[in-house]
């Protein structure tokens, strides 16, 4: 049961390797320039970036990603996330890992999403009695809905795997802003 959190991570990695292998094999074949440009015309890049500073508090996040639009209704994407969070004289945490997202647009203005995220959390806590480390894998499966305007989606997502005792996020509900160009 201890390694159960690693299964989604392994599935994502295997799927990613399959996609890269398939892309490399396809590019090695004699593919016309039109077919290559057709593939890349359906790929969009984006992600997120966050900075928060306060009274002895720092939170820096970088989350690049790419999605492939199969058609106007369905997209599949992969991304990476890295965060550094520190509260002076209390804790320091490094959080990093991959994610995979499926986007569905039943109508142009509405976007439904399912996002699987596998994060490694390495935290060190300090108090008057010393320090201790808390290192664990955090798996999140977010189901969301958002409003789309051009390349930006604003919405709300829910982590169906949220565990209040062992989680990166304090709440299961999270607002989001996605930008892909």
Domain ranges for the chain: 6-180
Q: Name the H helices within the chain.
A: 6-28, 33-41
State the average pLDDT over residues 75-101: 95
Q: Which CATH number fits domain 6-180: 1.10.8.590, 2.40.160.20, 1.10.645.10, 3.30.2310.20?
A: 2.40.160.20
* pLDDT value, residue 20: 47
* pLDDT value, residue 24: 47
2 vs 36, residue with greater confidence: 36
Lookup result for tokens 């799927």: 15
Lookup result for tokens 């094999």: 25
Percent above pLDDT 70 for the chain:
80
pTM > 0.85: no
């Amino acid at each position: 049961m201890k390694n159960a959190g690693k299964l989604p991570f392994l599935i994502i990695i295997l799927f990613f390797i399959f996609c890269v292998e398939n892309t490399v094999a396809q590019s090695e074949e004699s593919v016309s320039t039109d077919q290559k440009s057709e593939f890349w015309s359906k790929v969009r890049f984006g992600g997120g970036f966050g900075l928060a500073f306060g009274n002895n508090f720092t939170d820096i996040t970088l989350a690049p990603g790419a999605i492939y639009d199969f058609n106007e209704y369905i997209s599949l994407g992969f991304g990476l996330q890295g965060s550094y969070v520190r509260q002076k004289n209390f804790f320091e945490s490094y959080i990093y890992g991959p994610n995979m997202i499926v986007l569905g647009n039943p109508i142009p203005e509405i976007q439904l999403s399912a996002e699987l995220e596998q994060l490694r959390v390495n935290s060190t806590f300090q108090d008057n009695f010393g320090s201790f480390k808390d290192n664990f894998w955090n798996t999140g499966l977010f189901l969301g809905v958002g409003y789309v305007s051009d390349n930006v989606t604003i919405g709300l997502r829910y982590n169906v795997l949220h565990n209040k005792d062992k989680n990166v996020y304090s709440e299961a509900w999270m607002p989001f802003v996605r930008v892909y160009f």
